[in-house]
Structure 1
Amino acid sequence: MSGAEPFLFPDWPAPTGVHAATTLRTGGVSAGPYNSLNSALHVGDDTESVMHNRRFIRERLALPSEPVWLEQIHSSQVVKAGDVVGLPQADASYTDEPGVVCAVMTADCLPLLLCSVDGLRIAAIHAGWRGLLNGVIGNAVAALGECELLGWLGPAIGPGSFEVGEEVRIAFAHKSPAFDNAFKPQAGGKWLADIYRLARIELNMLGVTNIYGGRFCTVTEPDRFYSYRRDTVTGRMATLIWRD
C-alpha cells in the first residue's frame, strides 16, 4: 500500500454532524492501471482487490454503514439511499436519515455533494455533462425539498482539458443562454467546456448560491486522480457523504 494520504476532505462550512470525503488513488491494493485505491467493480479490476479497497475506505473513514453504491448511467435518476435494494441504475442519491452513506464514483465526471444548512438532508450526485444537461442536479435539489443548501464540487476534469464538440455547446445553449460563458472556442469546431462553471450556473438557477470546491483537474494530476479521458482503462474515485 502507498503511504500517501488517501482522502481529500471538502473545504466547505458544512454543519456539525455532516461528514464527507473523496478517495484519491493512493492507499489501496489494486494493480496496473487501477493502482491503487480503485473503488469500482465495473472497470475490469480484480474483484478481491476492489472489495479490499472498499473495506479500507469504510474502516479508515469510520463509515457508519456500507456506502449505497449506484450503477451510474449518465441519467437524471435520483434515489433515496435508505430505500435502495441491490444496485439501482441512478446517478444521485439522497437521504434525511443518520448513518446512511450516499456515494458516487467518478474519473473525470463531476462529483457534487449537497447538504442542508441544518445538516439534516444530504445528497451525492454524479454529474457528467449528459446528466447535468438532462437535469440530475435539479432532480436532486427537488428531492431534498424546501431548504437552504450548500454545495461542494469535487475533483473533475478541468476547464483546460475538457474538449467537446459543437453539439454539446448547442445542447446547453438550447437549455439556457446562461451556459454560453462555460464554453471557449477551439480549433476545428471544438470547444473547451468548464464543467465546474456549468454546475455553478445550474445550481444558481436552482437557488443554490453557497458553492465551494471546483478547483481540481483529474486529467493533469495523475498521481492523485483517476482520469478516463487520460487513461481510458483506469479506476474510480468515490465521493461520499453521511450525517450523524
Structure 2
Amino acid sequence: MPGPLDVVRADWPAPPGVHALQTTRAGGDSGGPCAALNLGSNTGDDPDRVAANRARLRAALDLPAEPAWLRQVHGTAVVDAATVGGAAPEADASATTQAGVVCAILTADCLPVLFCADDGSWIGAAHAGWRGLAGGVLEATVAVAPRPPSRLLAWLGAAIGPEHFEVGPEVRAVFVARQPQAAAAFRPGQGDRWMADLYQLARLRLAALGLTRVYGGGLCTYADVARFYSFRREPQTGRMATLVWRD
C-alpha cells in the first residue's frame, strides 16, 4: 500500500480560500525510477499507475475537480483552466477566476510558479524552466490577470537550485540581453559553463513587471533525492505537481 502523501504547502500570505501546494515523490503507486507518486503521463511509467496516482492525489487533498493538466512544451501559451477538459491542451500556464478549478503544473527540475490576486479573485500557475522564463511565460501569465501586478502574489515551488543548474554561455546571454541585471543570477562554472539561479531570474522578471510580493524558493529538486524527482539527476524519472485552487 502507498504511504501518505507528503506535500510542500505554499508559504505565502494568500487570502482565505486560496489553496496552494507542491507534491513530492512520496505516497503513490509507481515503481522503479518513477517511484512513487509520479503524476506525469509522458515519463514511461505505466499509464494505469499514473491514473491511480492522480486519483489518489484528488482524494487525499479533497480537490474540488480534476486538475487542469497541460501538455507542457517549454513555451509561453496560457489557457483558461476552466476550459480544460479531456485531452490536455498544449500550454505552459493556466489561470482562472472561477472557484473550484484547479490549475496544475508538472515539473522535475523546472520552476513552478503559482499566482493569486490579493483579494482571491484570480489564480494562476506557470511552468518556468529556463526556456519558458526566457520566452516570457511569467509575463504572459501576469498579463491575463484582471488585477495589476501590484495586486498579485507569487510563490516559487521546488526547482533545481543554483548549486546544480549548469548551463551554457548561450543561456546566460539570452537573459542578460533582456535584463542586464540578470548577470547577477549566474556564477562561473567549469570552462565556459555557468551556474544559473532560476529563483533569482524569476524574481527579476516579476519585479520588472511590478510584482514584488514573491515567496518561496530555495528548495532544490536535484539535491533532495528522497523527496523530489530531478530530470538532471535521473533522465528517466517522475513528475511532481504544483497546484492552486480557490473555494
Fold shared per TM-score above 0.5: yes
The reply on whether 1:202 has 2:205 as its aligned counterpart is yes
Structure-1-length-normalised TM-score: 0.98
What is the match of residue 125 of structure 2?
A: 124
CA distance in 1, matches of 2:52, 2:3: 16
Give the distance between the partners of 2:96 and 2:68, measured in 1 at CA. 11
The 2-side partners of 1:83 and 1:25 are apart by: 28
1:98-156: per-residue Cα shift (whole Å, max 9, x none)?
00000000000000000000011000110000000000000000011333011100000
- Structure 2 CA distance for aligned equivalents of residues 119 and 70 of structure 1: 23
Matched, 1:142 2:161: no
Deviations 1:30-84 (A, max 9, x none): 0000000000111100011111100110011110000000000000111111122
Give 1:133's aligned amino acid: A
Which ranges of structure 2 fall in alignment gaps of 5 or more residues? Answer: none
Deviations 1:195-218 (A, max 9, x none): 000000001001111111001000
Q: Contact (CA 8 Å) 2:5, 2:28: kept in 1 or not? A: no
For 1:5 and 1:66, how far apart are their aligned partners in 2? 17
Alignment: residue pair count: 244
1:221 corresponds to which residue? 224
Task: Note the 1:133-212 alignment, pairs <5 A.
Answer: 133-147=134-148, 148-212=151-215
What is the rounded CA distance, in whole Å, between the counterparts of 1:211 and 1:235 in structure 2? 27
**More displaced 10-residue stretch of structure 1: 138-147 or 197-206:** 138-147
C-alpha distance in structure 1 between counterparts of 2:83 and 2:33, whole Å: 34
Judge conservation of contact 2:78–2:141 (CA < 8 Å) in 1.
Answer: yes
User: What's 1:54 paired with?
Assistant: 54
Deviation at 1:4, TM superposition (A): 5.2
- In 1, distance between residues paired with 2:147 and 2:5? 37
The amino acid that maps onto 1:169 is R
| TM-fit CA distance, 1:174 | 1.0
The one-letter code matched in structure 1 to 2:11 is D
Structure 1 outlier segments of 4+, above 4 Å: none
Q: Is contact 2:39-2:50 (8 Å) kept?
A: yes
Specify the alignment match of 1:74 in structure 2.
74
Residue of structure 2 in register with 1:64 after alignment: 64
Verify: 1:105 aligned to 2:106, yes or no.
yes
Aligned residues with identical type, % of pairs? 52
Tell me what 2:24 maps to. Answer: 24
Tell me the equivalent position of 2:13: 13
Tell me the SS of whatever aligns to 2:202.
helix
Per the alignment, residue 230 of structure 1 pairs with 233
What root-mean-square deviation, in Å, do the aligned CA atoms of Structure 1 and Structure 2 show? 1.0
